């Protein structure tokens, strides 16, 4: 079953290319970005200014193809793709939680952005602790190395092999 989605806006960030980017918002604390919504969606932003955090869904538009096992940024051995947050996926949809600074018309000023500049935005959802925070979590192979995400930067490994 195929479904076609259309971007609702563009994410502007300081990251002009994939190299040297943070690999998660936890490695991009205070990095500012803007969500520039298409004008037709501006009325849907009402009430959003009461939320401190937003869930962004976006298209990993620079990711081409995928492999079912990958060597992630945070590990030295290959892992099953769905146990990673790698951008090259069957459906390359990115998910990041950012902080909302302020809204000016159809532009949302956000912090902690970890996307490349020009990323197409697919959806904004409010981050709601009762829905989105879980305790007693086991994080598999990431358990020991998740904290390293604050310092590691992206590199070429998710480019498609020629």
List of residues contacting a copy of itself (CB under 8 A): 1-8, 24-26, 41, 43-53, 55, 57, 59, 61, 68-69, 79-85, 89-91, 93, 95, 97, 120, 122-134, 136-143, 146-147, 149-150
Residue closer to a copy of itself, measured from CB, 104 or 133 = 133
Which among 106, 6, 7 has a CA at the least distance from the CA of 48?
106
Residue closer to a copy of itself by CB (options 84, 154) is: 84
Name the phi and psi angles at 73, rounded to 5.
-55, -35
Sequence-distant (6+) residues with CB within 8 A of 161 are: none
DSSP-derived secondary structure letter, 90: S
What is the nearest approach in angstroms of a copy of itself to the Cβ of residue 157?
17
The least CB distance from residue 9 to a copy of itself, in Å, is 10
Position of tokens 């498609």? Answer: 160
């Amino acid at each position: 079953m195929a479904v076609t989605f259309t971007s609702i806006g563009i994410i502007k960030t300081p990251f002009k290319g994939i190299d040297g980017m943070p690999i998660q918002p936890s490695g991009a604390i205070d990095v500012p970005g803007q969500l520039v919504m298409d004008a037709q969606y501006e009325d849907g932003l009402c009430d959003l200014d009461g939320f401190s955090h937003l869930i962004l869904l976006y298209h990993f538009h620079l990711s081409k193809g995928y492999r079912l096992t990958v060597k992630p940024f945070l590990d030295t051995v290959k892992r099953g793709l769905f146990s990673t947050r790698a951008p090259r996926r069957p459906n390359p949809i990115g998910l990041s939680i950012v902080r909302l600074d302020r809204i000016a018309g159809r532009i949302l000023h956000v912090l902690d952005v970890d996307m490349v500049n020009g990323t197409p935005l697919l959806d904004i959802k409010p981050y709601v602790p009762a829905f989105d925070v879980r305790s007693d979590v086991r994080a598999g192979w990431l358990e020991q190395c998740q904290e390293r995400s604050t310092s590691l930067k992206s590199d070429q490994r998710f480019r498609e092999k020629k």
